[in-house]
Amino acid sequence: MLLLAGIVSAQSTTIVPSSAATTRPTRSPFYSAYVFYSSTSTTPASHSQTIIDCSDIAIQSGLWRSITTRRPIGLGNSNPAMTTNATLVMSLATTNSAAATTTYATNHGATPKTLINGNISLPSAANQSTWPSPWVTAFPFSAPFVYTGVTGGSLVIDMTQVQTTGASSWYVEYTSPDLGGRANNGNAQSGCKFSNGKYNNSLSYTSGGLNNNGGSWYVSYNNLLPNVVGVVALSAYGLDNKGAWPIPIDLTQAGAPGCSWHVGLEIGFLGALTASATGSARLPTIQIPAGLGGSAFYDHTLWLDAQANSAGWVTGWSSKWSIGTGIGAPSAFIYSSGTSYTATTGPLTAGACPTWQLQ
C-alpha cells in the first residue's frame, strides 16, 4: 500500500525526450509522418515504436493515464484533421535503446500493456511562428500505466494506426541525431541579378558529410551566368554570429544595387571558380577535420559580371554549414507504413524520438 501511495503521489506530466521539454528540435528532419502516416496511393496506416531510455525520464516512478503529441513548427504545410483506429501498447524493457533491434516484438519488455484500442481524433493544426505548438487533446488510456524506472532499461511506446476519415499524414515533432546540415545565411538575393536576368537561387551540396568524425563537404552554385568567373569566401561569422563584422553590408553604394555581403573575411577567399556553359560552378570537395562537432562555418560567393551593374559584381546565395555532433536523443525509432504496416520489422534510426507527453 505504501508503494502504491508513493507511485500515485509521484504521478506527473512527463515529456520524452526530455530535451523537447525546453528545446525545439531544429535539425533536419525535425518532424516525422510515420507515427500517423497516410498516402492516397497506399493503405493509410503505420506502425511505429519509440524506445526511450529510462535514464531520460525525469521521474523514478509514477502513474500515467494518457498520452499526447504536438505538431512541429517550421513545417509550412498544415496538418489536416483526421480520425484513426489506434492501438497503443507500452512496456518497460530491461535493455536500453542502444540494444534495440529492427524487430518490434523483441524490443518490448516482459509485460506489454494495451492502453488504447479504438478511434482517436487529431485536429487540424497550422504551422505556428513560435515554439512549441500546443499539445493535442490527450488520448486517454483504458487503464493507468504504472511506470517504475528500470536501471539501464527503456520505456517502449508502440503505436499502430489505420486511418478511417480524412486520411492524410499528420506530422509530429521529432528529435533526430545531429548529422550537420545547411541553413540560409540570408535568403537568395533576387534583386542581385546577372546580366541575363538570373540570380543564384539553387544549390547542390553534400548530404550527411558534415559530421563530428570528419567528413567531406562540397557545394555547387547553380543558376549562374554561363561561364562567369567568381570567388568563394569562407568565414566563421555570418548573420546570426556577426562578431565584430558589420554584416550584412549593402553594396548599393559600391554600384551593385540589390546585392549585399553576409560573411566575415577573416578566413578569406578560396580561389576562383568558373561556371559551366549551363551556369553551374562546383567547389572542390573539402575534408572536414574530426572533432569539430557543434561548430559552424559560412560561405558566400562574389561573381564578376561587367554588364550586371556599374560595380560589375553579383553576390550569390550564402549558407551556414553546421557540423554535426552525431548526438540525438537517448532513444531509437522504428517504423513501417502503408501496405507494410503489418510487417514484424522496420527501419531503425538510433537517436531519434517523436515528442510525447505522458500524464
Give DSSP secondary structure letters for 222-258.
Answer: ESPPTT-EEEEEEES-BTTB-TT---SEE-TTTT-TT
Average pLDDT of the chain, as a whole number:
92
CA torsion sign for 337, 340, 344, 346 is negative
Same domain, 82 and 52: yes
- Confidence band of 212 (pLDDT split at 50, 70, 90): low
- Whether 324 shows a pLDDT value over 80: the answer reads yes
For residues 53, 54, 55, 58, the Cα torsion angle rounded to the nearest 10 degrees is 130
Residue 148 has pLDDT above 70, yes or no: yes
The whole-number pLDDT of residue 207 equals 60
Do residues 278 and 293 share a domain? yes
pLDDT tens for residues 96-125? 999 999 999 999 999 999 999 999 999 999
The predicted pLDDT at position 26 comes to 81
Flag whether pLDDT at 80 surpasses 50: yes
Range of lowest pLDDT (113-122, 143-152, 291-300) = 291-300
Nearest to 79 by CA among 20, 47, 118, 37: 37
Residues 6 or more apart whose Cβ sits within 8 Å of residue 197: none
Q: How far apart are CA 343 and CA 105, in angstroms?
A: 11
Question: Is residue 112 located within the same domain as residue 224?
Answer: no
Q: Residue 188 is part of a domain; what is its CATH number?
A: 2.60.40
Q: Give yes or no: residues 258 and 276 share one domain.
A: yes
Q: What is the pLDDT of residue 326?
A: 81
If pLDDT is split at 50, 70 and 90, which confidence band does 286 have? confident
Residues 276, 281: Cα–Cα separation, whole Å:
6
Prior bond to 17 cis, omega within 30? yes
- The type of residue at 137 is T
Pairwise CA distance, residues 56 & 331, whole Å: 9
Handedness of CA 250, 252, 257, 263 (dihedral sign): negative
Determine the Cα–Cα distance for residues 174 and 172; give it in Å rounded to an integer. 6
Same domain? 311 vs 266:
yes
Show Cβ contacts of residue 5 under 8 Å, excluding neighbours closer than 6 positions: none
pLDDT for the residue 301: 97
What pLDDT is attached to residue 291?
Answer: 84
pLDDT of amino acid 127: 94
Same-domain check for residues 332 and 318: no
| Residues of the chain above pLDDT 70, percent | 94
Range in 23-27, 45-49, 194-198 with the lowest mean pLDDT = 23-27
Calculate mean pLDDT across residues 314-318: 98
Do 217 and 286 meet the contact criterion of CB atoms below 8 Å apart?
yes
Across the range 225-234, mean pLDDT stands at 96
Instruction: Output DSSP code: residue 327.
Output: -
pLDDT above 90 for 181: no
pTM of the predicted model, to two decimals?
0.75
For residue 219, the model assigns a pLDDT of 94
Q: Do residues 101 and 107 make contact, with C-beta atoms less than 8 angstroms apart?
A: yes
Residue 263 and residue 236 in contact, taking contact as beta carbons nearer than 8 Å? no
Identify the domain containing residue 290 by its residue range. 181-322
- Position 6 scores a pLDDT of 47
**Same structural domain for residues 154 and 218?**
no
For residues 48 and 34, membership in a common domain is answered with: yes
Indicate whether 302 and 347 sit together in one domain. no
Same domain, 119 and 86: yes
Model confidence at 1, pLDDT cuts 50, 70, 90, reads very low
The answer on 163 and 21 residing in a single domain is yes
* Strand-pair partners of 357: 15, 68
Cα 109 to Cα 159: distance, rounded to the nearest angstrom: 15
**Measured distance CA(332)–CA(328) in Å, rounded:** 9
The more confidently predicted of residues 288 and 225 is 225
Res 3 pLDDT > 50? no
- Judge if 212 and 142 occupy the same domain: no
Q: What is the pLDDT of residues 349-358, one digit of tens each?
A: 999 999 999 9
Residue 257, pLDDT score: 97
Burial class (CB in 10 A: 0-12, 13-18, 19+), 230: buried
Between residues 355 and 177, the one the model is more confident about: 355
Residue 11 has pLDDT above 80, yes or no: no
Q: How many domains does the chain have?
A: 2
Rounded mean pLDDT of 247-260? Answer: 97
In this prediction, residue 57 carries a pLDDT of 97
Q: What residues pair up with 83 in beta bridges, in sequence order?
A: 121, 165
